[in-house]
Every structure is written in structure tokens, then in C-alpha cells.
């Protein structure tokens, strides 16, 4: 029995069709999700919320990402009570995973404890240095904090100035005040007047989203 053979032109056509089909499959495949890390303290962790996994501002950012059909996953690396110094000791553990955008939101506990701003500044610098040593292409967003005037005018001024100064020095993106529109609001904060309520986290998420949304574009 004579074996069936395709004519050479037909064979070329078949190869071309199969190659195009494979290319189409690759093009249609969903993009691998990239990673957005929020590295902060109790404000980021969602302290006091009924369900931090859905009500904290990082969780709300994930919902915005999903609604926009963007290939990003959010990692909430907030830890209640953390200072900048403690964050500098913890950062290597967080960087075991690939990080494409890193939001650094530490310093509030330093201010509440009256830690000298120079110490906090050095710790924030170490954290950013470690992020860039791990991956120089990681985009860093530095979230600023402010302290109440009860700590003294000189302290509050030096503390607030620390963030824009570091952002400029390191050429990173500055989010001027993480709690913009929330800090000092009795309605948007829990009874301790430090940690935002679920409604407060909605406001924080909007503030954060305006800054990071351009970084997540395809």
C-alpha cells in the first residue's frame, strides 16, 4: 500500500497554519501576575478591622486591580507595632519573593515613641537599599507620615520633612501623607484615634490608588 504524502506546497501551508495557531495561543495566554508589596505597620495590616483581609487598604487596592483586570497580586506585609528599625531587620524575609512595586509605609510607631528622626531615616534608607540590592528595577513608593503637634513643633517638622527628603535623595515616588483626609477625623478613625475604621481605609485606598495606578499599567 502506497503511503499518503502531502504535496510539498500543502505541507508548507499546514506548517504555517500550525505555527500561527501556536503563536495565537501564546498571545492569548494570560500574563503572569506581578507583585505589589505593602510593607508597613498596623495601619497597613488593618488593625482593629473586622476582616482585614477584605477591609484593609491593601485588600481594597487588590479589588481595584481585579476590577481593572490588571495582572497584579497584592501582598499585605503589614505588621502591627513595627518600627522602621524592626522593618529593616524583617525586609530580607519579605524579599524572598519577586517584588515589582514596593510601597514602604513605616514610621508611625517611631513617631509615637518619640524615636529620633535621624534613626528612623537611617532605617528607611536601609530598607530601600535592600530592595534595590535585590532587584534594581523594583519601583519604590515611600508613604509619608505626620505626627500630632503634641510632640513638639521641632520634632513634628523634622519628622514630616524626613519623607520628601528621602524620596528626593533616592529618586523614588513619594506619597506625601498616607492618612490624608483620615488623620484627625473622629468619624474615620477607631476609638484610639490612630487606626482607621473600615470607612477610613476606603479613603486611604483612594489616596494610595492615585499614586500607584500609573505604575500598574500594562
Residues designated as active site: 42, 192, 195
Sheet holding 101-105, edge to edge: 72-76, 34-40, 101-105, 139-143, 173-175
Asked whether 37 and 75 are in contact (CB, 8 A), the reply is yes
- Which residues are CB-contacts of 182 (< 8 A; sequence separation ≥ 6)? 188, 189, 196, 200, 203, 204
**Per-residue CA distances from 69 to 29, 66, 124, 141, 151 (Å):** 14, 5, 32, 22, 44
All cell numbers assigned to 70: 490588571
Amino acid at each position: 500500500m502506497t503511503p499518503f504524502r502531502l504535496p510539498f506546497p500543502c505541507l508548507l501551508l499546514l506548517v504555517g497554519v500550525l505555527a500561527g495557531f501556536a503563536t495565537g495561543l501564546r498571545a492569548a495566554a494570560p500574563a503572569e501576575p506581578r507583585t505589589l508589596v505593602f510593607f508597613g505597620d498596623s495601619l497597613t495590616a488593618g488593625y482593629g478591622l473586622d476582616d482585614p483581609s477584605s477591609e484593609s487598604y491593601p485588600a481594597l487596592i487588590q479589588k481595584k486591580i481585579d476590577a481593572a483586570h490588571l495582572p497584579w497580586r497584592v501582598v499585605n506585609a503589614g505588621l502591627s507595632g513595627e518600627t522602621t528599625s524592626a522593618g529593616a531587620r524583617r525586609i530580607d524575609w519579605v524579599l524572598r519573593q519577586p517584588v515589582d512595586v514596593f510601597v514602604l509605609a513605616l514610621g508611625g510607631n517611631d513617631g509615637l515613641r518619640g524615636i529620633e528622626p535621624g534613626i528612623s531615616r537611617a532605617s528607611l534608607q536601609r530598607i530601600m537599599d535592600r530592595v534595590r540590592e535585590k532587584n534594581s528595577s523594583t519601583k519604590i513608593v515611600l508613604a509619608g507620615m505626620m505626627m500630632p503637634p503634641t510632640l513638639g513643633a521641632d520634632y513634628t517638622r523634622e519628622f514630616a520633612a524626613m519623607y520628601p527628603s528621602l524620596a528626593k535623595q533616592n529618586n523614588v515616588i513619594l506619597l506625601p501623607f498616607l492618612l490624608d483626609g483620615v488623620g484627625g477625623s473622629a468619624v474615620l478613625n477607631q476609638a484610639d484615634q490612630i487606626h482607621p475604621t473600615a470607612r477610613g481605609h476606603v479613603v486611604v485606598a483612594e489616596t494610595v490608588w492615585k499614586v500607584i495606578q500609573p505604575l500598574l499599567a500594562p
